[in-house]
Chains A and B, each alone.
Chain A
Amino acid sequence: MADNKFDTPELREYPIIPKLQKDVMAHSKPFIAKEPHQEPLGFPGELVDDWHDVAIKKMGDLQSKYRSLQVYLDSCVKCGACTDKCHYYVGTTDPKNMPVARQDLYRKVYRRYFTFAGKYFPKLVGATDLTKDVLDDWYSYFHQCSQCRRCSVYCPYGIDTAEISMAAREVMDTIGVGQKYCNEIISKVHKIGNNLGLPGPALEDTLEGLEEDVEEETGVAVKFPLDVKGADVLLITPSADFFAEPHVDGLIGYAKVLHEAGISWTISSHASEAANFGMFIGSYDNMRKLAMRIREAAIELGVKRIVFGECGHAWRVAYSFLNTLAGPWDFLDQNYPIPQHICEVTHGLIQDNKLNFDKSLNDDMVLTYHDSCNVARASRMGDKAGGQFTIPRDIIKSVCNNFHDMSKDTIKEGTFCCGGGGGLLTDDLMELRVKGALPRMEALRRVVEDHGVTHMAAICAICKSQFAKVFPYYDFSMDQIVSVHQLVSNAIILTGQNDENDENDDGNHPQQDIDEAA
């Protein structure tokens, strides 16, 4: 935060559509991936000599593999319905952050090389050659899209800019221009199994440390099992849940719920990551390889169910793609959804009165809920459309007395991205992240002022990290973002739990060295 060379946008009283200011974000570019982070993913280490031809060939290849891409490139009528819908446009006012203008960076090249009109009348239809300048624009602006799909809700044809930005990133990867943040992380998962590059022993230490903390606090020996064969549930959770705040409080919440329900569960050191950054770079191949680790772990451990922790894009990959990428899941228990979200599990247990809560334990907070984009617009929970909106809210209301939603056009299917999704949660994009958070910050400010909201809950590791980082820019404090299962953890009364005022320490715990894990 030291090199804060940009101005944080001011929160506006009434969000009016800003006037555009050309190229004000043209300088925003994430670090480029070097060879060690490109090759494990199957991409060249630097810009290849015949990049132009390779790129055009790749574009043609992707158009023939993805109907979405082909149809979306042809169908846009430039009606402008999406122009004010992107949080990055609202926050930066750069016209190339309008969804249609972002798509057009790709579409104008498509038209030039793949359509009759663009080949013979390029000026008339706004078609251009793929030049180095265009490639620069691609790198800059396709890394200013968090693939949140908000534009696709409002487009009369459902055109989803995420599909275009995924394709653009895959074309760039193919010619050797990858993004360091995503590709470095993906290579770590291929090698070690999680985004952090956290090896099995360190993970074991961390989980033991958590067991001690929970036992000390509650007097109940809640386990955080790792690689336990024959467990019923394989828990796949974002690796941020092992360390980051407030993520880890969410993980404690899942553990307490599973413990209280008597469900045997385990984490896998082979598949210790719910995140799947293969989606962000549009690479089916990489996404599939990452997903296959989950299948391998499930088979090896002999589990019956797979449950995902709180993570937005991971839930998209899990809910919408896992069956495609790594299925069929005929060896799992078919009586449960495959995979299941931890919120679905907790919600079901609440419905069945299997959990006891003291809601007053969350009375120090007034909550609101941030719908994470990938959960809201790219997945579902429960068996009815829209369950992804009602289930987390039902959980919050079951464990908290004070809840207020933010204004209608900023939640549910119209929710604004946190500003850090889609592979942009990196310090080299801090300006973009701060500015992109503007619409959410405005909506939050309104409920803070009107309803005295003190905390915002979320079910996405990226949202939580992003808000913890950008809140201070908008005069909120970083601990005002909480996990939904942190609220569950606060309020749940475990069987045999110490009285709140009971100070007695129930024994000595061997002091583990958990430093290396941090």
Chain B
Amino acid sequence: MQISMLSMSIAALFYIAFIILAYGLVSKIIQYKNTPAPLKIPTMPAPTTQAGVVFRMSKEVVFFESLFKSSKATWLFGWLFHFGLFLDMLRHLRYFIDPVWFWVIIIQPFGKYGSILMFVGLAGLLTRRIIVDRVRYISSPSDHLMLVLLLCITTTGMAMSFYLGADVISVKSFFIGLMTLNIQNIPADPVLIIHLIMVASLMIIFPYSKLLHAPGLFFSPSRNQVDNAREKRHISKWAKELEKN
């Protein structure tokens, strides 16, 4: 079978994007992990046990608890977007596994509507960024472009799901092929190609942008520390050095 130039290019793009994403993310996580937190700084009141910290963190990750306290509009749009994104990513698992797991089949219809949540959330966040003077003031071009990129990914995806359709069988064999180093042809469907190029761009941008908030949250000392400073001495390596003098 003849592999098209287009397919070769998209395949190369995804290999590069994957390597950059994996390398960038892993090195950032290693950096966060290896950087000491010399002082106890949980935002109080904080849990007094490790189990409590897991609970606090779960509420942040799943429900965005702190954001809920601060701004209901930002919370609503932010949460809709992230929840929609989560559903859609699970839905897209079907392109990468064969045979498709039972629960991935079950969620297919929900995943489809996840894109609507994403769209509403992103549109709300972008509108807020433009019309609220305080948020406009703190925005750089990249903050707007990031939302535009995500909106384009969402709308091209929605166009294929709801109107245009896509040759999902070929898409799947392309990605399975990528994973098994056996490159297959990708359908020359312009909407699909645009969708994929933007997803690859997002992967490349991820470890070099504010998208680092995803791993960052787990390493945030104000959220992940246990309130036990009096009971247990907390001392970092470099601080310990000072005690030798």
Contact = CB atoms under 8 A, between A and B. Distances in A.
A20 B74 contact: no
A491 to B, nearest CB: 28
B212 interface: yes
24 contacts: A17-B134, A64-B35, A66-B37, A70-B35, A75-B210, A75-B212, A75-B217, A75-B220, A78-B210, A83-B135, A83-B138, A98-B137, A98-B138, A124-B142, A149-B43, A155-B66, A156-B64, A157-B213, A157-B216, A284-B38, A319-B230, A324-B39, A327-B233, A386-B45
B78 interface: yes
Interface in B36-89: 36-41, 43-48, 52, 60, 64, 66-67, 69-71, 74, 78
Contacts of B219: 67, 71
A126 interface: yes
Nearest to A68: B221
B99 interface: no
B238 A385 contact: no
Contacts of A70: 31-32, 35
Contacts of B209: 117, 125
Given A67-B36, A153-B43, A385 B48 contact: yes
Given A84-B134, A413-B45, A77 B210 contact: yes
Residue among B60, B230, B235, B239 with max Cβ neighbours from chain A (10 Å):
B230
B238 to A, nearest CB: 6
Given A152-B222, A284-B239, A76 B213 contact: yes
A398 to B, nearest CB: 22
B71 A125 contact: no
Contacts, number: 216
Interface residues of B, number: 64
Contact of A81 (B74, B221, B229): B74
A320 B229 contact: yes
Contacts of B112: none
Interface of B: 28, 31-32, 35-41, 43-48, 52, 60, 64, 66-67, 69-71, 74, 78, 125, 128-129, 132-135, 137-143, 145, 208-210, 212-213, 216-217, 219-223, 227, 229-230, 232-236, 238-239, 242
B234 A78 contact: no
Contact of A156 (B40, B67, B238): B67
Given A95-B137, A124-B141, A160-B222, 9 more contacts: A19-B133, A66-B36, A72-B220, A79-B78, A125-B141, A149-B43, A154-B69, A154-B71, A337-B230
In the A-B complex, the 7 residue pairs with the smallest Cβ-Cβ separation, listed nearest first, are A75-B216, A126-B140, A154-B70, A158-B222, A80-B135, A385-B45, A83-B134
Contacts of A71: 32, 35, 216, 219-221
The range of chain A's interface size is 35 or more
Interface string A79-117: 111111100000000010010110010000000000111
Chain B, interface SS category: helix
A328 B45 contact: no
Interface of A: 17, 19-20, 63-68, 70-72, 74-85, 95, 98, 100-101, 104, 115-117, 121, 123-126, 149, 152-160, 163, 284-285, 288, 319-321, 323-324, 327-328, 337-339, 376-380, 383-386, 388-389, 413
Contacts of B221: 67-68, 71, 158
B44 A379 contact: yes
A95 B140 contact: no
A448 B170 CA distance: 72
B160 to A, nearest CB: 28
A20 B137 contact: yes
Contacts of A328: 233
Nearest to B137: A95
B142 A126 contact: yes
A142 to B, nearest CB: 17
B222 A67 contact: no
Nearest to A162: B41
A159 B220 contact: yes
A288 B240 CA distance: 11
B132 A67 contact: no
B70 A82 contact: yes
B43 A100 contact: no
B230 A68 contact: no
A261 to B, nearest CB: 21
